[in-house]
Chains A and B, each alone.
Chain A
Amino acid sequence: MISQVVDRADAKLSMAHIYVAFAAVLLGGIAGLLQTLVRSGTVQLPAGIGYYQLLTAHGILLALVFTTYFIIGFFYAGLSRTLGKFYDQPFRMAWLGFVVMTIGTVLTTVMILLNEGTVLYTFYAPLKASPLFYIGLTFFIIGTWLAGGAMCSHYYICKKVSKKKLSPLFAFMAVMTMVLWFVATIGVAASVLFQFIPWSFGWVDGINILLSRTLFWYFGHPLVYFWLLPAYVCWYVIIPEIIGGKIFSDALARLSFVLFLLFSIPVGFHHQLLESGISPFWKFLQVVLTFMVIVPSLMTAFSLFATFEISGRKKGASGLFGWFKKLPWRDARFFAPMVGMLIFVPAGAGGIINASNQMNQIVHNTLWVTGHFHLTVASSVALTFFGIAYWLIPHLTGRVLTGRMHSLANLQTILWAVGMFFMSGAMHTVGLLGAPRRTAYTTYQDHPDALGWIPYEVTMALGGSILFIAILLLMFILTDLAFFAPKGKEDFPIGTVADRAERTPVILENWRLWLTVATILILVAYTVPVVHMIEHAPPSSPGFKFW
């Protein structure tokens, strides 16, 4: 019988990751606040700090460090809870992963602070950072591989020992997410190891820019699913238990994760729709595959709302929407992820717009895109992660989430939603008017078009300020939960599957099969255009340091 409480040693491992994750939120949040204030012309940065330096720090700390550390910490805790205490070998590998990742994070962050890596978190060539910036990123990625290896190894040993064909749903989903991460990071690792590092050291004269961008986006789109899937784990596995319901269907949940592995990778060209050197046919093919990845999200939406309705009706709800009122709105463990889910509706619709050939041309590289991913990753995913932290941190530190903290956490969620409404709303609108993303305060010599954007940029600063207050409140809540909340036992909720649900076909856990299909799809989508990029390449490009 597996304990309902995460083992103490595993809890420490998980918490180590969670501390780093939320330290990154605070630092990245400060950078974010300053960016909105600079961009609206409200303040000027002191002490020679550059806007783009802050922007690089904001992207790396929040999009890479916060997300990855939190995801890994959450998965360690969940695997320990559902499979049992980590075996020695994966446990040691996990700590090694933490150390390697953290060396990489510190190295890259120091390079950004020294202004040696102001290339933004996408580090597009031929802007050339210090070799140590890229080496830091390499350590970070290798650390995540060790983490993924530790999880897969623990999963494998547990499966051998239990002799069951199907693993617990949480474990399956966590391993699937890490497998997605392995396949995706091959692209960026190849680019950094074989292109960026030799070039930044000066061992080779030039770089194939288009190839480096393509390898980046081969990684860059599944990256967003790497952020999203752990939120889906919470929505599928944890939320049903919190609301007193059941998981609608184990089989469909697994099927949706299989579809994410298959269709979230061969789609990177929808980030490169407006680029030279890739034919419209291959761009369109990847747009089609991009749309395929919407299907598992539709399945997820159905399953979740089915769970909500069924559990509401069991509690005596009547009428078409009576169940909506039966949901535990005052429970912070539910409220934060639920607001995240609701925000995902417009966020997902925006994503469909971005991926559509012609509409992409209107919004590409405008603030619309920034507005979009502040709804997806910075609201749907972030609020869900906050919602997880509210019970996971006290569970791991042997404390309880008190009623007072529930209320403060709900206030945090509301502040976040309001701040994001102003900031992301203004970004979407001014993006449609043509304001570019990733650009410091400018009026382009008082051009009337650019002057018209300023009121929206002020609204962004207003939203950003509200969000920063929300981050401070979050820090207060999490510090309380980690160090000061009353001692006790907080549940680690894991849902059970509805009795009526069908038995899960074993084929859904056939890794060899799904990895083969994923590989075939990747080869179909990428082989011809990548060969063209290499054979029909212009003379390679030297590096530039324009900051």
Chain B
Amino acid sequence: MHIHKFEKIWLIVGSGTLVVFLLIIGINAFAMGHTPPSDDEILDPQEVDITAPFDEPGLKKIGENEYELVMIAQAFTFQSVQDLKIPKGATVHFTVTSKDVVHGFQIPKTNVNMMVTPGHVNKITHTFDDVGQFLILCNEYCGVGHQAMGVPLEVIE
């Protein structure tokens, strides 16, 4: 089938750009470790409270300025510790599941953003380089109190 010369140029440049985009995404994902949160662990969504590590939610120090924060999303809060305080420069591994419906897990001003599906665990890691007030919020509609589902997180000196 004949294609006009200008259209060929347009399509080659256009498709070439898409290939470059895909290469960047692919290299970023698989060579530089920036794959999206895709944890494969499963658990019984009705037995979250007695399944490790969710039987003891909260902040655990696991290394030099490195923490694991285990949280349970449930309508309409994140079950963890009361006052979340993290030292500046700390790397935090978030491990989250849901006790009821699908929730979101997002921290504005960071790249932390993932879905929390009941029966599944999801994980994401972030290093907090600056002190300040942060907010962990649910970004998936989960019911009438969805807009209240957020907890503060403070990064301190």
Contact = CB atoms under 8 A, between A and B. Distances in A.
Given A280-B30, A283-B38, A298-B11, A444 B135 contact: yes
A298 B22 contact: no
Interface string B26-65: 1011100011111111111110000000000000000000
B122 A275 contact: yes
A358 B11 contact: no
Interface in A379-430: none
A176 to B, nearest CB: 17
Nearest to A122: B141
Given A291-B22, A436-B137, A538-B119, A280 B15 contact: no
Contacts of A448: 133
Contact of A546 (B100, B122, B133): B100
Interface residues of B, number: 69
B44 A126 contact: no
A323 to B, nearest CB: 15
A365 interface: yes
Contact of A126 (B3, B43, B100): B100
Given A277-B117, A538-B44, A539-B44, A447 B150 contact: yes
Interface in B131-151: 133-135, 137-148, 150
A439 B141 CA distance: 7
B38 A434 contact: no
B81 interface: no
Contact of B118 (A126, A251, A298): A126
B11 to A, nearest CB: 6
B91 interface: no
B156 interface: no
A530 interface: no
Given A50-B144, A52-B146, A284-B29, A276 B137 contact: no
Interface string A349-386: 00010001110111011100000000000000000000
Given A120-B141, A365-B139, A544-B101, A434 B109 contact: yes
A158 interface: no
A505 interface: yes
B34 A357 contact: yes
Interface in A424-454: 433-442, 444-445, 447-450
B106 interface: yes
B18 A274 contact: no
A505 B2 CA distance: 10
A57 to B, nearest CB: 14
Interface in A242-287: 249, 251-252, 255, 272-280, 283-284, 287
Output the residue of B141, B143, B150 with the most chain A CB within 10 A. B141
18 contacts: A124-B140, A126-B102, A126-B118, A276-B40, A277-B117, A280-B35, A294-B14, A303-B7, A306-B7, A358-B34, A362-B111, A364-B106, A364-B113, A434-B106, A440-B146, A441-B147, A448-B133, A546-B145
Given A252-B7, A279-B38, 20 more contacts: A120-B141, A124-B141, A126-B100, A127-B102, A255-B1, A275-B120, A276-B115, A277-B117, A280-B30, A302-B6, A361-B114, A362-B111, A435-B108, A449-B108, A536-B40, A538-B120, A539-B45, A541-B45, A541-B119, A546-B75
In order of increasing CB-CB distance, the 5 nearest A-B pairs are: A434-B108, A546-B143, A538-B119, A276-B120, A436-B139
Interface of A: 50-52, 55, 118, 120, 124-127, 209-210, 213, 249, 251-252, 255, 272-280, 283-284, 287-288, 291, 294-295, 298-299, 302-303, 306, 352, 356-358, 360-362, 364-366, 433-442, 444-445, 447-450, 502, 505, 536-542, 544, 546-547
